[in-house]
A and B are shown apart, each in its own frame.
Chain A
Amino acid sequence: MSAPLAGVRVLELGAYTTGPLAARYLSNLGAEIVKVEPLKGESVRHFAYKVDGVSYIFHVHNVNKRGVAIDSSGDRGRNLIYELVRKSDVLIENFAYGRMQSWGLGYDDLKLLNPGLIYCSLSGFGHNGPYREMRAFDTVIQGMAGVMSLTGTADFPPTKIGVSSADNVGAATGAMAITAALNYKRRTGKGQHINISMHDVQGWLSSAAWPWLDTPEGAGRDGNHHPAVAPQNLYETRDGLLAVEVETQTHLDAVTDLLGLARCELAQSKSRESEFDTAFTAWAAERTTGDAENDCRANGIPAGRVQGMGEIAENAHTWARDMLLELEHPTSGPLKLLGSPFKSTRSPGVVKSTAPDIGQHTRDVLSELLGYDKEMLDALSKSGVIGGP
């Protein structure tokens, strides 16, 4: 079968991560993405670690997309975008609040052209509220949403999550909201404005800790422990670090049996945390990570090693799940890229083409969607409205 969002057209006006990533997720689900960039390309093309002058991260974020280069600062370029909007189901943008409106590309402008348009804005703080004008990157959001205050230990300053949590989880939220809105549109024909705030989303992430706010211990940084259940921690083995996580009574019984300790109810386990940690530390210190992992699993205890980028890249499971894969770029050769997390019996997730060069598909897209002929395209190109070969 075709992928679930086959036939859905998404216009992406984004830069850096959140917008482009949300669009990539939709492409993994089968949507067609037209990425609109300024003539000099979007900002992330110039980021560190380059392949033939183009940032590697641009390649990671922009698989499956067709690239169109348009100078939207003038009327002719803007009108081209208006025409593309008429032909699209979804628009994704992640500019600072007010930027799109200043270009005549705000939701109120575009819904007049296409009432069925699903217009998704992904921004640091959303399009309303007192902070909407604030500029933000990932770590600013993690800091202001309480996430850093919950990460690490009390001995150190608040700590960010090593991966870009605000960017990525914001993008996933956009992808889920858009697929929801597509269902509504299919039923009613109506589009709408989706107003996602990365700050909302990181604050929502922290909600598991909200109940502890009103307790004497409060909600703070407690390393690798779980606030209500034990044991959960990292233990040093002879050659690495083992993570152990108890979630259910069955897991807890397996732990106490393995360590030769008295059984107890899951709800009481937290009060015995240091006892469990001491016993597990001694147990793990005598084993290699591999042996400890196997012993735990054989006994029904959830456990796993701490893997860095190198171990993940070498783990056969990562490749078996197609979460890392290699695509052949037409000029830069083979590139290792991220796969699709969306796997179902009717569609394994779409990863079909490498990221576009600047304006690589300008002519294809404008002729296919808008019916422009060569003469018109030459004229637009000559006057600097569009870019690409």
Chain B
Amino acid sequence: MTPEGCIDGTLVIELADGWSAGSVTGRLLSELGARVVKLEPSDGDRLRHIGPQTTEDSSATFNILNCNKESLALDLRSERGRRTLADLTSQADILITDRTTTEDRAADLDLDVFGTSNSRLIHCHFSPFGRSGPLAEHSGGDFIAQAMGGVIATTGHPGELPHKAGPPLAVHNAALMGGASILAALFERVESGEGTTIDMALYDSIVSLLYTFIPGYFLSGKAPGPQGNQHPMAAPWDNYPTQDGWIIICMADDRQWRNFLDLIGRNDLAEDPRYMTNDERVTDDIRPEVNQLVIDFLADKSTEEALEVLTQGQVPAGPIYSLAELLEDPQFLARDMVRMFEDDKGHPFRTPGSIFKMSETPGRVYRRAPTLDEHVEIDL
């Protein structure tokens, strides 16, 4: 028997192209039981045409992101397309729109019209900077949000040009926040009977991640640049060399520090006021000294040997895995995080399992991504 979903019977209309927050949220809501209808332009979502394994109207990237969804091609510049959109949203519970998509496909689309025709509609609009404030109308996607939202400035190595987070962090984070906001509105609607319009900005979602930098900045005016792999408020915390590679070691509290001193046979330092608390260890003077203790400890060990000792001693530590290693990682596999499907031509592709592991209503990934306009005969 198919397990129930949290929001079975909920109809979502998704107007979002590319690897965008709107498209990620559509996928997440589908995992929770919603029926998600993706509206694509007549030549398909732009993601269908880029990246590896691109065929006539499909790519690996598109397939990964759009499992579970139904596809309907719609020209929003035409009268007929707009009428269909209005019909669909009049019956929908949730409408997802995304600025890049509306800007490209229907610049004059009036986003506020949907709520007036369907007062129960929950409409979530994703945009780089939100619908209010001085930057409201500017364009951008994940990269611009990372640049203006403080991720890039702090990522990379000291003295070098900074870098973005490799994965689309701003898009995924905004997608989750938009999802939470939509589901809260759906919960509330049961009582009020009324929908709402949600204004979810990638900028807001990414600024929400700056909590580790706020204390230093507002107390002493310190704004960190690229910080390598260290933590602004904890030490020792870094990516350290071993005999055969790297190991990450993170100590945030004093108990873990004492566990480490115990491991290296330096319990004499446990009461040394220079190192005793994290407050001292993070200072510019002391941080290099505690880092050196870790480096010395690792000098004669392989990553595997060091990991075993540190794990036994309850000091948080881990290896660095490539993507290939992740996809074969026993933990990731045990959590059912790698799923295989075949596209409509029979080519296999991998897609992530659901991040929603729930005892009664586990998130479900159950169907390959649709071909363009596959659900043209759609019956709502």
B149 touches A307 (CB 8 A): yes
Q: Which of B60, B157, B201, B216 contacts A211 (CB 8 A)?
A: B60
**Residues on A with beta carbons closer than 8 Å to the beta carbon of B237:** 137, 139
Asked if A323 meets B208 with Cβ closer than 8 Å, knowing A312-B150, A342-B177, the reply is yes
A203 touches B184 (CB 8 A): no
Query: B215 at interface (Cβ–Cβ under 8 A)?
Result: yes
Asked if A135 meets B314 with Cβ closer than 8 Å, knowing A194-B357, A317-B203, the reply is yes
B335 touches A161 (CB 8 A): no
A130 touches B323 (CB 8 A): no
Query: A256 at interface (Cβ–Cβ under 8 A)?
Result: no
Asked if A211 meets B163 with Cβ closer than 8 Å, knowing A134-B311, A149-B323, the reply is no
Q: 8 Å CB contacts to B: which residues of A172-193?
A: 172-173, 175-184, 186, 188, 190-193
Main SS of chain A's interface residues?
A: mixed
9-residue interface stretch from B167-175, B262-270, B366-374: B167-175
**Residues on B with beta carbons closer than 8 Å to the beta carbon of A309:** 150, 153-154, 210, 213-214, 216-217, 223-224
B147 touches A147 (CB 8 A): no
Query: A160 at interface (Cβ–Cβ under 8 A)?
Result: yes
A317 touches B166 (CB 8 A): no
Q: Which of B183, B250, B330 contacts A179 (CB 8 A)?
A: B183
**Residues on A with beta carbons closer than 8 Å to the beta carbon of B141:** 245, 247, 302
Contact string against B for A residues 142-180, beta-carbon threshold 8 Å, 1 for contact and 0 otherwise:
111111111111001111111111001100110111111
Query: A204 at interface (Cβ–Cβ under 8 A)?
Result: yes
B239 touches A186 (CB 8 A): no
B173 touches A169 (CB 8 A): yes
Q: Which of B163, B177, B226, B325 contacts A172 (CB 8 A)?
A: B177
9-residue interface stretch from B50-58, B69-77, B80-88: B50-58
Q: Which of B18, B148, B229, B325 contacts A139 (CB 8 A)?
A: B229
Query: A303 at interface (Cβ–Cβ under 8 A)?
Result: yes
Shortest Cβ distance from B135 into A: residue:
A317
Asked if A143 meets B318 with Cβ closer than 8 Å, knowing A204-B355, A211-B61, A344-B181, the reply is yes
Query: A372 at interface (Cβ–Cβ under 8 A)?
Result: no
A317 touches B213 (CB 8 A): no
Report how far A155 CA is from B314 CA in the complex, Å: 32
A183 touches B156 (CB 8 A): no
Q: Which of B52, B152, B198, B234 contacts A243 (CB 8 A)?
A: B152
Report how far A224 CA is from B332 CA in the complex, Å: 27
B242 to chain A, nearest CB (A): 12
Asked if A162 meets B153 with Cβ closer than 8 Å, knowing A152-B163, A182-B183, the reply is yes
Asked if A139 meets B358 with Cβ closer than 8 Å, knowing A60-B215, A207-B352, A321-B130, the reply is no
9-residue interface stretch from A71-79, A215-223, A373-381: A215-223
B46 touches A249 (CB 8 A): yes
A149 touches B320 (CB 8 A): yes
A1 touches B192 (CB 8 A): yes
**Residues on B with beta carbons closer than 8 Å to the beta carbon of A112:** none
Report how far A340 CA is from B237 CA in the complex, Å: 30
Q: Which of A146, A159, A200 contacts B163 (CB 8 A)?
A: A159
Shortest Cβ distance from B59 into A: residue:
A211
**Residues on A with beta carbons closer than 8 Å to the beta carbon of B337:** 200, 203-204
Asked if A146 meets B215 with Cβ closer than 8 Å, knowing A196-B357, A306-B153, A308-B224, the reply is no
B150 touches A181 (CB 8 A): no
Report how far A342 CA is from B338 CA in the complex, Å: 31
Query: A262 at interface (Cβ–Cβ under 8 A)?
Result: no
Query: A318 at interface (Cβ–Cβ under 8 A)?
Result: yes
Shortest Cβ distance from B162 into A: residue:
A306
B148 touches A305 (CB 8 A): yes
B253 to chain A, nearest CB (A): 6
Q: 8 Å CB contacts to B: which residues of A221-244?
A: 221, 223-224, 226-229, 232, 234, 241, 243
Asked if A4 meets B207 with Cβ closer than 8 Å, knowing A302-B139, A309-B223, the reply is no
**Residues on B with beta carbons closer than 8 Å to the beta carbon of A149:** 166, 320-323
Asked if A179 meets B187 with Cβ closer than 8 Å, knowing A138-B250, A184-B361, A199-B331, the reply is yes
Query: A205 at interface (Cβ–Cβ under 8 A)?
Result: yes
Report how far A308 CA is from B224 CA in the complex, Å: 7
Shortest Cβ distance from A250 into B: residue:
B104
B153 touches A152 (CB 8 A): no
Asked if A151 meets B163 with Cβ closer than 8 Å, knowing A162-B154, A183-B187, the reply is yes
A213 touches B133 (CB 8 A): no
B356 touches A342 (CB 8 A): no
Report how far A247 CA is from B219 CA in the complex, Å: 39
Q: Which of A125, A193, A313 contacts B358 (CB 8 A)?
A: A193
Q: Which of A60, A181, A267, A342 contacts B50 (CB 8 A)?
A: A267
9-residue interface stretch from A33-41, A47-55, A97-105: A47-55
28 contacts between A and B (CB under 8 A): A5-B188, A55-B215, A143-B319, A146-B323, A157-B229, A163-B212, A176-B183, A186-B190, A192-B358, A200-B332, A200-B357, A203-B326, A205-B172, A208-B61, A213-B327, A224-B163, A241-B147, A247-B46, A304-B138, A306-B162, A308-B223, A310-B217, A310-B221, A313-B217, A335-B218, A341-B204, A343-B200, A344-B199
Q: Which 7 A-B pairs have the closest CB atoms?
A: A162-B154, A150-B166, A243-B147, A211-B60, A56-B215, A49-B215, A129-B334
